[in-house]
Copies of this chain bind each other. A is one copy, B any other.
Amino acid sequence: MRIVVQDAPFDFGAEAAAFAADRRDMGAIVTFTGVVRDSDAGDLQAMEIEHYPGMTEAALADIATQARTRWSLGDVLVIHRFGRMTPGEPIMMVATAAPHRKDAFEAAEFLMDYLKSRAPFWKKEHRAGQADWVAAKDEDEDALTRW
């Protein structure tokens, strides 16, 4: 299990390759990557992510440990950035390795659902002349009820 919280960009392909390498006993690897999505108007200049140092790492480790308890997993990776990033840049990724695909998929979705609403990150969108905090969505909170 590896949890990384950093402001530096990360190399999604290299992380995915390293995570998947030499998994002779894990038939299924799932990755999810969140990318800074431009606004529909195409005017997003930057996404800024604030976090709560200390609690962030603890919350992510707790979520990953819960996933390992609930599903048969060989390994879990969570990388989440904070600071300023531009459209097209990866914000975060999770990866799961499991003997079977159902466990790998469900655990990755569980990690994402919890990470969205239970890890202390806050997004702010910067457009020309204005900056707005992204509001939490009811559907993200509702997504937790399925687990």
Contact = CB atoms under 8 A, between A and B. Distances in A.
Given A14-B13, A16-B12, A24 B87 contact: yes
A49 interface: no
A24 B37 contact: yes
A29 interface: yes
A11 interface: yes
Contacts of A87: 24
Contacts of A20: 12-13, 33, 35, 90
Per assembly, the copies of the chain total 2
Contact of A28 (B12, B26, B35, B104): B35
B25 A37 contact: yes
Contact of A31 (B27, B31, B88): B31
A38 B13 CA distance: 25
A112 interface: yes
B105 A109 contact: yes
Contact of A22 (B17, B24, B88, B112): B88
19 contacts: A12-B16, A12-B20, A13-B13, A13-B17, A16-B31, A23-B35, A23-B88, A24-B35, A26-B35, A27-B36, A27-B37, A30-B31, A30-B32, A30-B33, A32-B105, A34-B101, A37-B99, A105-B105, A105-B109
